[in-house]
């Protein structure tokens, strides 16, 4: 009986410690700061997106999976495959560069949109989908829908 009581007390203690350590506050995409065309071919395009992200949590967060669709000026560009790892340091408000590879049939129209932006015309970039993030032992799937107007 004493052994069972000790086991239950330990389980409660562990649950209490983990629940207090991992209180979660939503990560915020503050703004897109830049978008650059890195490569364009018949197979797709690679773009660098600089965005400011605020992580108010007391632990780092790693992005482990993405399912994102990108649009430029409300025109679907296709599904984005994020290259490399994205780690948000704890208690941070930083600009991160994300390299996204877009494979899709609508890529042809993107060149004129990117050229128009390079000439000083504003562009609207939209990201919609989901991101799976990991912090310590926990994983969380977060729905994302974000649109911002960019002008150089």
Give domain status of residue 62, yes or no: yes
Count of domains for the chain: 1
Per-residue pLDDT 10s for the chain (152 aa) are 556 656 565 565 555 555 555 677 888 888 878 877 788 777 777 888 888 889 998 889 898 888 888 888 888 878 888 888 889 999 999 999 989 888 766 566 666 666 666 666 777 878 888 888 888 878 888 888 878 777 65
Q: CB under 8 Å to 110, separation ≥6 — which residues?
A: 40, 45, 72, 75, 77, 102
Give domain status of residue 97, yes or no: yes
| Structural contact between residues 98 and 144, judged by C-beta atoms closer than 8 angstroms | no
Give domain status of residue 121, yes or no: yes
CATH number at residue 101: 2.60.40
Give domain status of residue 83, yes or no: yes
Give domain status of residue 15, yes or no: no
Residue 90 domain boundaries: 26-150
Give domain status of residue 31, yes or no: yes
Give domain status of residue 45, yes or no: yes
Give domain status of residue 86, yes or no: yes
Please give the C-alpha separations between residue 144 and each of 9, 28, 43, 53, 114, in angstroms, as whole numbers: 39, 10, 26, 13, 23
């Amino acid at each position: 009986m004493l052994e069972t009581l000790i086991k239950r007390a330990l389980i409660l203690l562990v649950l209490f410690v983990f629940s207090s350590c991992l209180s979660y506050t939503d990560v915020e995409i503050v703004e897109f700061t830049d978008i650059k065309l890195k490569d364009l071919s018949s197979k797709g395009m690679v773009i660098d997106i600089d965005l400011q992200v605020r992580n108010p949590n007391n632990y780092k967060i790693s992005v482990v999976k993405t399912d994102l669709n990108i649009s430029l000026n409300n025109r679907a560009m296709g599904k984005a495959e994020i290259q490399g790892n994205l780690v948000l340091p704890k208690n941070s408000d930083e600009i991160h560069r994300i390299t996204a590879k877009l494979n899709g049939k609508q890529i042809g129209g993107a060149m004129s949109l990117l050229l128009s932006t390079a000439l000083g015309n504003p562009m609207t970039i939209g990201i919609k989908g989901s991101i799976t993030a990991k912090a310590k032992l926990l994983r969380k799937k977060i729905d994302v829908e974000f649109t911002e107007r960019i002008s150089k």
